[in-house]
Amino acid sequence: MQLWGMTDFVRQIPDGDTRERSVCATCGHIDYQNPKIVVGSVVSHDGRILLCRRAIEPRRGYWTLPAGYLELGETAEEGARREALEEAEAHIVLEGLLAVYSISRIGQVQLIFRAGFADPGVPEFAAGPESLEVRLFDWYDIPREDIAFPSVHWSLAAWREGAGRPLGAPAGNPATDLRGATPVGVSLEAGGL
């Protein structure tokens, strides 16, 4: 295995650890593999939800929330606002944390916020470089069969359940998939969608 220009990585349990890791046999550097943080938001306006149709893989052509990987040096809130700007050219105001999902299958923790447009009078948005199109959907018009990821279904259900009420404790994985282990395309209870 070759990482960062180093060779001779071996799988072993480092001293003081309990898990097998990739360790450089030459210098002892441990290559820790940890989950990635995804940040995003359910942006709503007058009961309608902002969705982006993906222009990139995975799941190109499917609808998702404005969301993506948190960057080094930014807070979760800054990252969620940046993702909305990049994917939907939307300036948003975060209301608070809506949900926290553990997606063990792909090594992600997702932080999803509830949000509105910075200018609620006339929301402005357009497709950014990672989106084919961006639209506001009425609840019953959401293209449920064309949603990109299970966590988008879960987030929409959490938003619907708390619509019009103050935020409480964040929602979590549904009981049918507590570890986020079910791949895309496998039928799951979508939490009332």
Between 55 and 4, residue with greater pLDDT? 55
Residues 51 and 10 in one domain: no
CATH number of the domain that residue 5 is part of? 2.20.70
Please name the helix (run of DSSP H) or strand (run of DSSP E) that holds residue 76, with its range, or none. helix 76-88
What percent of the chain shows pLDDT beyond 70? 92
Residues 91 and 154 both lie in one domain: yes
Question: Domain containing 16: what range?
Answer: 1-33
pLDDT of 186 > 80? The answer is no
Segment 92-98 long-range contacts (CB within 8 Å, at least 24 positions apart): 92/41, 92/43, 92/116, 92/117, 92/118, 93/117, 93/118, 94/41, 95/167, 96/167, 97/167, 97/170, 98/41, 98/42, 98/155, 98/158, 98/159, 98/162, 98/167, 98/170, 98/171
CATH at 83: 3.90.79.10
Number of neighbouring beta carbons within 10 Å of residue 103? 21
131 inside domain = yes
- In the DSSP assignment, the letter for residue 139 is G
pTM here?
Answer: 0.86
Is there a single domain that holds both residue 18 and residue 48?
no
**Residues 107-158: tens digit of each pLDDT:** 999 999 999 999 989 899 999 999 999 999 999 999 999 999 999 999 999 9
Q: Are 77 and 14 in a shared domain?
A: no
